[in-house]
Structure 1
Amino acid sequence: MRRPDFDDPDLPLSELFAAWPEMVAAFLERKMLCPGCPIAPFHAITDACLEYDLDEDDFRAELEQRACGRLRDAPR
C-alpha cells in the first residue's frame, strides 16, 4: 500500500500518524492531544494548527523533517 500524500491539505491526522508514526512526537511535544483523539480521522494538520494556535507553515516544515528523518535536536 502506498503512503498517503503528505502535502494533501485534507489528509486526516489518523492517516498521517499511521503512515508516519514518528510525527506523533511533534504533536505530543506541544501538548497537542491529536494522537489518539476520536476526531483525528476528521481533522487535518490545518485544523490542528488552528485549534492549537500554531503557525502551520512552521509546523508542516518540522513534520516534513521528521518524515525524512532529518530532525535535529534544535532549540525552540
Structure 2
Amino acid sequence: MAKTSTISIDMTIEDVMTTWPVTVQVVMAHGMFCVGCPISGFHTVADAAFEHAVDLETFTSDLARAIAASEEPG
C-alpha cells in the first residue's frame, strides 16, 4: 500500500526516513549522515537543512521527487 507523499519541513528527519526509506539516499546525497544519528529524531527537515547549509527548497524538492518516484506503479 502506497503512503501519502506529503512531506512537511516540520517532520523530523527520522520520521521522513522511516516513512519513506527511499529518502535515505537523498539525505546522504546532500551530505547529511543522519542515518543512526541520535539527533535525527529531534531535527526537523528545516533544522537539518539549516545545520548542514543545504538549500531548504532544493532539499524538500529532492525528497518529494524521490518519494513520488518510489510510489509510481512499476
Instruction: Give the TM interval when normalised to the shorter protein.
Output: 0.7 to 0.9
Give the gaps of 5 or more residues in structure 1.
71-76
Give the aligned partner of residue 35 of structure 2. 35
Q: Secondary structure at the match of 1:6?
A: coil
Which segment is superposed worse, 45-54 or 23-32?
23-32
Runs of 4+ displaced beyond 4 Å = 2-5
TM-score under structure 1 length normalisation: 0.77
Tell me: CA distance 1:52–1:16, structure 2 relative to 1, closer, same or farther (3 Å): same
Shift of 1:54: 0.8
State the number of aligned residues.
68
Q: Do the aligned partners of 1:32 and 1:52 also contact (CA within 8 Å) in 2?
A: yes
CA RMSD in angstroms, aligned pairs only = 2.0
Name the one with the larger helix percent: 2
Q: Do the aligned partners of 1:17 and 1:23 also contact (CA within 8 Å) in 2?
A: yes
Whose relative contact order is higher, 1 or 2, with alpha carbons under 8 Å and at least 6 apart?
A: 2
Identity %: 26
TM-score under structure 2 length normalisation: 0.79
